[in-house]
Structure 1
């Protein structure tokens, strides 16, 4: 889901410019859906991940997607790349009746990136070799790390949301670096 679906190519490319990161120099993928419509992107999802936006926009984006979570109680993992701003409490306060979501998030950004061609090609300049993933109680009860590991291709460790919420990092600056 993106605010500018028309800007995206059918096949997306990611260059790896970090020689020490154990990933091929070029990754390609073809998304099955590129849309700005949460009613198309969210239903049926097992995981929703907010990425690349400043923390002050989390509320508005969550308000647009949460009504499209299943109302039958099925669990959906809802997370944020950089879960600053007490993301877990925000998610809990906005959940519609019948929705069941478990929060998660990365405590820092996984990569420093650039965008040579928006909607077509990205470049990883530097990848973290260790990333902490915040989950309820810091114990990953739903296997978030097992899902994110192959995607982020780095070592993942548990951390609680409290550690991320109190982290003295710049929550407005770092998400746009993605």
Structure 2
């Protein structure tokens, strides 16, 4: 889960907590709920034939330096979230909030965190997939590279994620989102 931890390290959790007026541990838990939901939604869209659209979105975010919340275009984040989840956004938000071990992580907090985190996730994916490192140059036109990158963020740890770094049980969370994310999310 090194890539998941690398992505998590890119999220300015302290800034998010300050902006939303919540405790940092609540912000961290909300982000840990949001990440697999967003990545799962991106993967579902790519798997449903939206890979070319996702690659175009990644090109727009390539090279973005998002070091703090003030660097994030939340209007762009709202568009990303709407595109990823479509009319299922409220159901996904509810599922993500319900998966948190902290009762303070509500639908309202998840809904505020999503558009902050979404551009950061796309920027991170763009830099991994489109450039910067030798592992990202193996994208190829078959699309396996992007699917592998998204799948690598979601898999490989499952329930061990919960015990290793306090994140959600990805298997349980994604299982709960499965019916919501599959089909019609574009």
- Which TM-score band (shorter chain)? under 0.3
If each structure's strand is expressed as a fraction of its own residues, which one has the higher value?
A: 1
If each structure's helix is expressed as a fraction of its own residues, which one has the higher value?
A: 2
TM-score of the two chains, using structure 1 as the length reference: 0.26
TM-score of the two chains, using structure 2 as the length reference: 0.26
Higher relative contact order structure (alpha carbons within 8 Å, sequence separation ≥ 6): 2
Q: Which has the larger radius of gyration?
A: 1
